[in-house]
Every structure is written in structure tokens, then in C-alpha cells.
Amino acid sequence: MENMISRFLNYVTIDTKSDPNSESFPSTKKQFNLAGVLVKELKELELEDAAVDAKGYVMATLPSNMDKKVPTIGFIAHMDTSPDMSGENVNPKIVKNYEGKDILLNEEKNIILSPNEFPDLKKYIGKTLITTDGTTLLGADNKAGIAEIMGAIEYLVNNPEVKHGTIKIAFTPDEEVGRGADYFDVKKFGADFGYTIDGGEIGELEYENFNAAGVKITVHGRNIHPGTAKNKMVNSMEIAMELNSMLPKNQKPQYTEGYEGFFLLTGLNGDVEETKSNYIIRDHFKDSFEEKKKLMQNTVDYLNSKYGNNTIEVEIKDQYYNMKEKIEPVMHIVDTAKTAMEEVEVIPIIKAIRGGTDGARLSFMGLPCPNIFTGGHNFHGKYEYICVESMHKATEVILKIIELYSK
């Protein structure tokens, strides 16, 4: 277990931030830096087939040590970190025996991780936390998942008397920009089913997620010298703001929870002549997901009728779908994970993901893949933290799943 934490602290120092604006795959070459480290570690654990391919996917196999046939199980985590915040020069801080008080992350900038703002911290009194230094994200999403899988594999390698079937491992690039499964070779991977280790707080077990679409909007204006602009100028920025104001104000992430979907403006850049904006659309239910996409298109159509055809160009592209329909026919994989948690004294928290994982797309590609906790909180930002004891429990859950399927 101590090796697992050491690995994690090393992984987070390797910058693997992905780039949604890149046309290459993976979107950033620096993801190969972590891939190389992982292949080396897997080979040191005598997983001889460990390799990274040209697209940045790391795969490896721990062969069965049993005489009978049992399911081949895959465990998957992603290597990239979110483009929402810097992943360069990550300097993790370790808080031992947390007392339930404010944690000063950065004295110079007076950045404080406080239970007043993040009440979940109170759950970890007496535990060991790993936090940021207030200037970057931590990268527990999803380097904690990688470390936890590696911890389980190391345990099995070092304890050959523990019986297990064939275990497949995959570490993927570009999950954070929605492309993590683009080139994933399910047939080559060869698992009967899998688990992504990419959830949040201890106990999370998820087999439902958002349906997701990305929206790219370009507004074309007309720039005229402001002194002679009357009845001539068309300000693309103002039209872009008008479009945003026409979307339902209560259907934004900051006002929604549970199964409620949303529209989110993720980027806006422009001038009088041209403005580009990006949105994401999320909803758990197919009907309301389609309604949200239709509302976006209707809003664009209305503004084009108001300002002239082709004033606004829109591209709405589906990204992934709710994996529930692919998991329900094989619910034993969820039930087994739930039993595994209970047997290692973790209380299962079964809920829908307000987001997505590689597992959502993989489930539609023929690899049913629910999601299991890593133990982290506040992903994608400077207030990110993870509990060491929760990381240990994640590894125990992985090992217990393997044990249950080996009986």
C-alpha cells in the first residue's frame, strides 16, 4: 500500500494535461511521458506484454493462475488531467491526522481548503489527506485510479498463492476531452467486462451517467468604424450573449443536481467581426437530452431569422450516452462490486454520475464498464484532495472483486 501512495505522488508530478483544441491523438504528446513510466513499472511486475501503442493506450495482462475458467476482468483508468487548470509543477501536500480545520494550501496567495466551504472534509478527521499547493490541480482524477490498480496488481504478483483469473489493465489518454475511447481496441483488450476506477468519494459505485453533446457556435458580425456604424455594424459578441441569455437560466450546472441536466457555456472568444463559443449539453434521459439539443438548434434558427441567414453557424455533436442500458443486462458486475465493497467494510453509494467516464463509451463498444470510487474530491481545480485511507480501500475493492469472480 505504501508503494501505491509513492507511485501516486510520482504520477501527479508528470504533466499530462489534455487539450480540447488539439487535432492530434492523443491531444498532447506529454501523456506519453506517463505512459512510458507505467509500461516500465508493469514490466517490472513481470507483465511481459505491457506496451503503449501509437495512440497512447497502455495495455497489459496478468495471466490467470487457476485451472478453471473464470471471467476475464478489465480495470481501466485514464492518464490525462483536466484542461480546466494547470497540471504542471504539481506539488502535493500531505496532511496527516487531519483535525477538521482549515488547511492553508498557499500562504502567499492565501488559498484555504476549508470545511466551511467543503463540508465533506469533516468525514476525514483523523485521516491522511493529499492536497494541492493551491496553484494547480492535484490530478487524482485519474492518477489515483492508476495507482490503485497498480497497487492491486503488485499485491497479486507478490502473493502468487492468491488465486485469480486473467486480469486486463488499460490506461487511456484524453478521457478529459471526451476522446478516451476513440481508438480503444475492445477486441485486443479481451476482457469479458471491466471497471473504470474513476469515481469520487469512497463508496461511489456508478452505472448511470449523462448523455452528452458538445456544441460549437460561430457568430459572424460586421465591423464598421464606430463613427459611421449606424445601421451597418453587426456586433457578433452581442449576438453570442443574446443566444446565451435565451437558454434556460435554471438549467445551468450551478443550479442543478441529481438527475437534472444542463447547458454549460465552456468557452467564449471573439470581437465585433466574429465570436466563437462552446457549450456542453448534459442530460440523463434520452427524451430530455434530445429536447435540449433541439432547443439549442431552435435558438440558433430564431437568431438567424432575426439577423440574417448564416449569421450563426452551429455544430452539435453527440459525445457519449448513458451506459445504464448496456449495464442492466449484466447487472451481476454491479452487484459483485457492491458485495465487494461491503466485504471490505465500505458502504456502497450507488448513484448516477453527473458526468461521464471512458466506461460509458466502452459499454456501447461491447465492454460493459461501471465506475468505482478513487477516494478523491473537488476534481479539476486547486481545491482537489484525496484521502489516503480511501485509496487503500479502492485497492481492496479491486482485489475483492477479483476474489469473488475467482470462486
Judgement on whether residues 302 and 223 belong to the same structural domain of the protein: yes
**Model confidence at 1: pLDDT above 80:** no
Q: Express each pLDDT in 161-189 by its tens digit.
A: 999 999 999 999 999 988 999 999 999 99
pLDDT in tens, 242-284: 999 999 999 999 999 999 999 999 999 999 999 999 999 999 9
**Domain boundary pick from 320, 344, 360:** 320
Q: Which three cell numbers stand for residue 97?
A: 491526522
**Positive or negative: CA dihedral 165, 168, 169, 172:** negative
Residues 254 and 347 in one domain: no
Query: Does 301 lie in the same domain as 334?
Result: no
Active-site residue flag, 80: yes
Domain containing 195 equals: 2-209+322-405
Residue-wise pLDDT tens digits, 47-106: 999 999 999 999 999 999 999 999 999 999 999 999 999 999 999 999 999 999 999 999
Q: Are residues 285 and 348 in the same domain?
A: no
Whether 195 and 336 map to the same domain: the answer is: yes
178 and 192 both lie in a single domain? yes
Measured N-to-C along each axis, helices 388-405 and 140-158 cross at an angle, to the nearest 10 degrees, of: 50
What domain count does the chain have?
A: 2
Active site residue 84: no
Q: Is the domain of 146 the same as that of 284?
A: no
Domain stops at, among 320, 341, 370: 320
Q: Is the pLDDT of residue 2 over 80?
A: no
Q: Global pTM?
A: 0.88
pLDDT tens, residue by residue, 230-249: 999 999 999 999 999 999 99
In one-letter notation, the amino acid at residue 45 is L
* Residue of 15, 41, 80, 208 marked active site: 80
CA distances from 242 to 158, 172, 217, 246, 278 (A): 61, 39, 13, 6, 14
Q: Are the CB atoms for 131 and 385 separated by under 8 Å? A: yes
Say yes or no: 248 and 298 in one domain: yes
The domain that holds 233 is classified in CATH as: 3.30.70.360
Q: How does the average pLDDT of the chain come out, rounded?
A: 96
Same domain for 12 and 143? Answer: yes
What's 129's domain CATH number? 3.40.630.10
Position 288, amino acid: S
Q: Is residue 288 domain-shared with residue 326, that is, in the same domain? A: no
Instruction: Based on the fold, state whether residues 190 and 279 are members of the same structural domain.
Output: no
Same domain, 310 and 353: no
pLDDT tens-digit series, residues 332-390? 999 999 999 999 999 999 999 888 788 999 999 999 999 999 999 999 999 999 999 99
- The residue from 175, 176, 206, 396 that is catalytic is 175
